[in-house]
Structure 1
């Protein structure tokens, strides 16, 4: 396959000079010709060449004025310009360099010098274009890295905030808010054993949207159609309505960031369920221990009353038994020993009461600590309401 020739633009109003240059360059380069400076500007911007041969003396715009304008246009400012003139004074040559020319060819033109200088100009233009292209690529890569770092900061911010969330509703609001920071309209649904919470950046939430998210929860981790994206994790689903499909790199980054956020929300939802169950068990245990403590206290009081009544009845019965004083003292001594044993047992019971009391207090503290986080107070971001169609 023949390599396409590089294009050179000749700007001159003298047909003879134009023909001379064409004859000497046509074997190596594709040639375009402009008879005026204004025409040269049009052609150079529409079909940028790799070198421009520019006559100095022309009507309307002379060569220096044309070169100044070429250097002020982004599309042509990096193209090598070679002046062609019969005037080889130092003043003219310096003027050419001042307006942005890279070389000066004096008429009458030597063919070999012409070809050599044009080849060098083409090499310089291509090298400059390569540097500009590399700088542009490096800048784009740097901007992508900066954007990625900024987006990752949103993910980290969400994960940090999620540690303090204690309810499905607050978790859904937090997820919607941080997703909105990416400029995305979104809806989040969290499904628990007793309730399903749906929160959206667009109000009100369409019933069809909520119902469809519920039904698609088991249809795969990632669902995409057009600008719509659904992410499904255990307990949590998210619908994004305006993914930037026109920018595949950004779209891929956002998809990764959102997957991390929803996975974090899923783990947080599981923790909320576990903590709620623990709190419920603690509360039930607390109530049970309080009942046991109350029953033990009542039982001890009843036992003491029984022992007091027994002592009274025994002492009264001595009057009818005809017992000697020594016998009465012996019986009373036995009863007092039994009462003392009962009191000792009662004291042991008091220690058990104290332990039960400590357990109750620790359970109450644990319940308070599990609920210590403040409810999430972030405000929902509003967004345009889109019809939900998949």
Structure 2
């Protein structure tokens, strides 16, 4: 957190006490501390030495800080201010005075996204490392390298299966690939793919029966390679050619390991997208409830003003009706009773709005726990 007002730094550190927050009041202190590594940076826009926008541009220009999320905190509520923050490379924008819940929610979301980003990068590196360690300079391994590059662009099981089966066909292998569902998602189903042919019921039964068996199962000229998210059935293993058989066997493990990594990556990406949608939905609901509450409070104030105006007008009009004191009192009592009932209706609506706040907080907590 960088803000030249010590009070603002103290407030943010207290608001984000669940995190390890470092606070700085000068640009030099902040820039010198970047080597310690940060997961998220909060930048005040209006600084004495240089603007937060300029500091953000410096961060984006350096390799070690180019991917650290930056949240601007500013008293500027104009659209041009937000655009300037975006152009400088900021990831989010909070206006002063900020809402504590909003700041906490945005920081949690940014940190969760960083965690998933690291997981994706780690998964990619693991799959690439596993692949390149097993490769030599043969023509088949060159095809495998191209396959590794190709599957990084696959965003569906069908496209991933097509890439794998096409490569295996080039090796002279007939194959069936199965993708297994998430165990926690009952709506997710297994999917089976073959190249230029339908997958038979027997092949499905073989893959299902062998799913939780050994990593590699061989029977006759057939072989099944199992991973948690994907399995591969080869129908014509070249078991008579010992040299090619060993090479193909090694290739299959590498290929399915990379396929497994890509499947896990796609599931993680889908989970991140879903959780981002859920968080945004909860934020929208919270904002809508706040708007309703403000509107209801304004209606109560407006009703009170209208009541006073009505009493003044009635007093003027009653002079013309020539009512006695008892009749005037009865009329005012009747009006007051109905106005009180209207006020009670508005206050009941406020209580209803307040009753929904714990529900929204619970939903937000559930989404945050799923992201952590």
Fold match (TM-score > 0.5): no
TM-score (norm 1): 0.42
Quick one: higher RCO (CA 8 Å, sep 6+), 1 or 2?
Answer: 1
Structure of greater Rg: 1
TM-score (norm 2): 0.44
